[in-house]
């Protein structure tokens, strides 16, 4: 993304999200991903999957640790998959889910404050 | 937050969000913030505010650059304020908005992959 490379012309360019106005075409895709994270159950599911042994979990694992029904968990997992935050691989009866580090890294990078200020360069 | 300090016991602790299961009480607050970012118009508004001269903007500035009506912009700004992503200060006729770097930094930090793996420590 171009706004990762350009520090921006504003005096205080403290975030890669905001170094320059976010293009419309990026906003829609990013908003979908943030919306997927905008639910407590999905945030906890993502956290449980990635904290699970070997970084993967199936609905059978999650049902044991989570207070939601299997179909509700599957619904939330579908949204996380569509947003690119988890992948699913069927092995035998179950789909095994893994979080996608590259996707989280991209979001993290976008929100990272860079604190490029006039003061920082020449105090 | 405790999961910022503890690398976790899973072999692959690649994100501070997922080093250990996210506590329920944190999930609700964080989900509200991600939900506020989960709208293309709000993402662009946040970006426009922080990219504006001196890092602040009023609705009058945003209306010029944005295709939404003043009341709609104000509605989105209220959601961003309630999520702690922007602050507003009334000066004269207008409220001047600024993004909140500390809030974005917290979200970024939470999503940062840390890549603490058994291989990285002892290959």
> Which residue segment(s) compose the domain that A42 sits in?
3-121
Write out chain B residues lying below 8 Å of A10, CB-based: 50-55
Complex prediction ipTM: 0.78
B43·A30 Cβ contact <8 A: yes
Domain count, chain A: 1
Residues 36-75 of A with CB under 8 A from B: 36-44, 46-55, 65
Strand partners, A119: none
Q: Cβ of A18 under 8 Å from any chain B Cβ?
A: yes
Of B19, B55, B113, the CB nearest to A104: B113
Nearest CA to B1 out of B94, B9, B13, B21 is that of B21
Cβ distance B38 to A40 less than 8 Å, yes or no, reads no
* pLDDT (0 to 100) of residue A98: 94
**What would the pLDDT profile of B57-113 be if each residue is shown by its tens digit?**
988 888 877 778 888 999 999 999 999 999 999 999 989 999 998 898 888 888 876
Please tell me the predicted confidence (pLDDT) of residue B70: 84
Distance between CA atoms of residues B17 and A45, nearest Å: 11
B20, closest residue in chain A (CA to CA): A51
Tens digit of pLDDT at every position of chain A (123 positions): 333 333 333 333 334 676 677 888 888 889 999 999 999 999 999 988 888 878 889 888 888 777 788 889 999 999 999 999 999 999 999 899 999 988 988 888 888 766 444 343 444
The SS3 call for residue B94 is strand
Contact yes or no for B21 and A101 at CB 8 A: no
Widest distance between CA atoms in chain B: 62
The answer to whether the Cβ–Cβ distance between B107 and A112 falls below 8 Å is: no
CATH code for position A58: 1.10.10.10
Q: Does B35 touch chain A (CB under 8 A)?
A: yes
- The answer to whether the pTM exceeds 0.80 is no
Find, in chain B, the residue whose alpha carbon is nearest to that of A53. B10
Task: Confirm or reject contact between A6 and chain B (CB < 8 A).
Answer: no
Cβ contacts of B105 on chain A, cutoff 8 Å: 111-113
Contact yes or no for A42 and B20 at CB 8 A? no
B7: pLDDT strictly greater than 50: no
Model confidence at B10: pLDDT above 50: no
Residue B56: closest CA among A3, A115, A111, A10:
A10
A2 C-beta neighbours (distance < 10 Å), count:
9
pLDDT tens, B18-48? 667 788 888 898 999 999 999 999 999 998 8
- The pLDDT value recorded for residue A55 is 83
Q: Are A55 and B9 in contact, with CB atoms under 8 Å apart?
A: no
């Amino acid at each position: 993304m171009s706004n990762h490379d350009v520090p921006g012309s504003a005096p205080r360019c403290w975030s890669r999200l905001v170094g320059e106005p976010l293009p419309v075409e990026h906003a829609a895709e990013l908003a979908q991903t943030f919306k997927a994270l905008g639910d407590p159950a999905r945030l906890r599911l993502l956290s449980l999957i990635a904290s699970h042994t070997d970084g993967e979990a199936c609905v059978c694992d999650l049902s044991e640790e989570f207070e939601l029904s299997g179909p509700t968990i599957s619904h939330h997992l579908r949204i996380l998959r569509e947003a690119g935050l988890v992948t699913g691989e069927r092995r035998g009866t179950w789909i095994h889910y893994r979080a996608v580090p590259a996707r989280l890294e991209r979001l993290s990078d976008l929100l990272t404050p860079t604190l490029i200020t006039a003061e920082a360069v020449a105090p």
